[in-house]
Amino acid sequence: MSITLYTSRLCPWCHRAHIALTELGLEYKEVAIDLAKPREPWYLEINPRGLVPTLKYNDEIILESGIVSTFLTDLKDNHLVPLPGTPDAALKRARINFFVDTYFSKAQPLVHSAITATDAATKTKHADDLVDVIEKQLAPLLSDAKPFFGGSSRLTLAEVLTASFVIRLYAYSKPGADLFPLEAVEKVKKIPNWQKWADALLVHDSVMGTFQEEDVIRGVKRKLAMRAAEAKK
């Protein structure tokens, strides 16, 4: 078995694949892709979309981070998600999928909107809406977390697919980053089910091991500055 991951450690989508590979104990070759530059022809031959991550498994190319991560967990029996084939496994996978879908359909768009908002009132409105989503829609789904999803003491596929975005939310609100309202995150920290779960993510080796916080913050600020400059043209 040969695995090559074409990736950027600044990208939360790529971060998913890194977490999955680490949790599964799979050996792989890492090829860094500089997202600040146009994709080189050799990479476009591998992935014509030019996106990251790309996984090369033996001679097969697999695209899109969710598909890459799920493919990896389907390779062998593991603690992240039960292999399909039984009603119990189907139910657990459905619950994981629902949690992940809720996060990305309800929460993450608000994080993005708050970060990219150009006026304080709009930024605060999106941040407050996020607090509401976490409290009313996500925290109840974590009621049995121990400390991870579904009563697990170990990371699950739910965390593989969401953790890289959750830890960035906390990083974005830190003094000096100032990308997301700190007041909203302080409210989030008072939601017990959620914060117990988030605290476990923030100290977990496979989640934090490839997270380059300062570089990520600089990268986001660079993108926002470029967008602002384009808007003025």
Q: What does pLDDT average to over the chain?
A: 97
* 80 falls within a domain: no
Whether 97 and 20 share a structural domain: no
Q: What is the pLDDT of residue 231?
A: 81
CATH number at residue 186: 1.20.1050.10
| pLDDT at residue 227 is higher than 90 | no
Residue that terminates a domain, selected from 20, 51, 75 = 75
Q: What residues make up the domain containing 157?
A: 87-231
Helices and strands of the chain, counted as H and E runs: 11, 4
Whether 124 and 216 share a structural domain: yes
Residue that terminates a domain, selected from 17, 52, 75 = 75
Tally of domains in the chain: 2
pLDDT tens string 4-49: 999 999 999 999 999 999 999 999 999 999 999 999 999 999 999 9
Structure tokens that stand for 55 in this block: 């996984």
* 82 falls within a domain: no
Whether 57 and 98 share a structural domain: no
Q: What is the pLDDT of residue 37?
A: 93
* 28 falls within a domain: yes
* 81 falls within a domain: no
pLDDT tens string 158-193: 999 999 999 999 999 999 999 999 999 999 999 999
Whether 66 and 147 share a structural domain: no
pTM for the model: 0.96
Q: Answer for the pair 177, 217: CB distance below 8 angstroms, yes or no.
A: yes
Name the residue among 114, 106, 103, 116 with its Cα closest to residue 66.
103
| pLDDT at residue 1 is higher than 90 | no
